[in-house]
Amino acid sequence: MTQPTPPRTDVPAIEIAGLYKRFGDNEVLKGIDLTVKAGQVVCVIGPSGSGKSTLLRCVNRLEEPTSGQIRVEGIDILDPEIDLDKVRARIGMVFQSFNLFPHLTVLRNLTISQRRVLGRSKGEAEEIARANLERVGLSDKIDAYPAHLSGGQQQRAAIARSLSMSPDMMLFDEPTSALDPELVGDVLDVMRALADSGMTMMVVTHEMGFAREVGDELVFMDDGMIVEEGNPRDVLANPRHDRTRAFLAKVL
């Protein structure tokens, strides 16, 4: 029985309340409240150092929050009793620097955690891997090593790797920031198709076009706080706060 249970839709996918995070004396998140509903695409923008990555990394506890609450599909993930690995297996994460495993072929990158974490058989894992590589347009790279892929291909392979775990939601941390401009489009296309398929997504990005067209919700962060939040078109066209306006004036 390896068929993944379908994502829950009766509770929010991600519910963050009163989240604080400090690195030593540096308070990076200062009371974040944010809800991502199942099937929603929430984009997070904001200046460098505003805490976007830290917020995202708290959601799968790559970063340990100082205080506050985070619920993923209704489960309190800060509960010390929780099986964190199980929670993480349901949350895909895509990094700015791809982080493919360089010692494994693309296929093995996609199958290793299916087999070791989900206990899928070799045949099943490879079948799922193939399907996801096809989805991101990389079927011909199945036996290549990551070093032989372009940045854009690596990032699409990384997305396929996360998808192969059949996650209920995906977190993206500036997935296109490390890419040459001409490679950004392919990755964004994959993400757009993923959003269209109904995947719950939380996306830290500088791609305002993507945020406007694909996002259901846009969150502007500055200095560890959510300054403004709303429909992407509204926020981008009529920012209500000065800080949002100043930021958008710089990036648009």
Partner 1 sequence: MRRTTRRRLTRGAMYALFVAAIGLIAMAADWERLRRVFFQLDVAREQFPEIVTIAAKNTVLFTVISFSGGLVLGVTLALMKLSPVLPYRWLATVYIEVFRGLPALLTIFGIAYVLPIAFGVRAPGGSVGAGLVALIMVAGAYIAEIVRAGIQGVPKGQSEAARSLGMSPARTMFFIVLPQAFRIVIPPITNEFVLLVKDTSLLFIAGSTLLTKEITTFSRDAVSTSGNATPLVMGGMLYLLITIPLTRLVAVLERRMAKTR
Q: Which two tokens stand for residue 208?
A: 């305002």
238, with CB counted inside 10 A (0-12, 13-18, 19+), is exposed
Residue 116 CB, nearest approach to partner 1 (Å) = 5
> What are residue 92's phi and psi, to 5 degrees?
-75, 145
Q: Is 71 in the site for partner 1 (CB under 8 A)?
A: no
Q: Is 122 in the site for partner 1 (CB under 8 A)?
A: no
Q: Of the candidates 53, 109, 111, 154, which one interacts with Mg ion according to CB under 5 A?
A: 53
Q: Which residue is listed with tokens 């990076």?
A: 28
State how far the Cα of 79 lies from the Cα of 164, in Å rounded to an integer: 27
Q: Is 247 in the site for partner 1 (CB under 8 A)?
A: no
Residue 153 contacts residue 182 (beta carbons within 8 Å): no
86 versus 233: smaller Cβ distance to partner 1: 86
Q: Name the pairing type of β-strands 41-45 and 200-204.
A: parallel
Q: Is 113 in the site for partner 1 (CB under 8 A)?
A: yes
69 versus 96: smaller Cβ distance to partner 1: 96
31 versus 151: smaller Cβ distance to partner 1: 151
Q: Of the candidates 19, 36, 54, 94, which one interacts with ligand ATP according to CB under 6 A?
A: 54
Residue 200 contacts residue 38 (beta carbons within 8 Å): yes
State the residues that interact with Mg ion by CB under 5 A: 53
State the residues that interact with partner 1 by CB under 8 A: 60, 62, 85-86, 88-89, 91-93, 95, 97, 99-103, 112-113, 116-118, 145, 147, 158, 161-162, 165
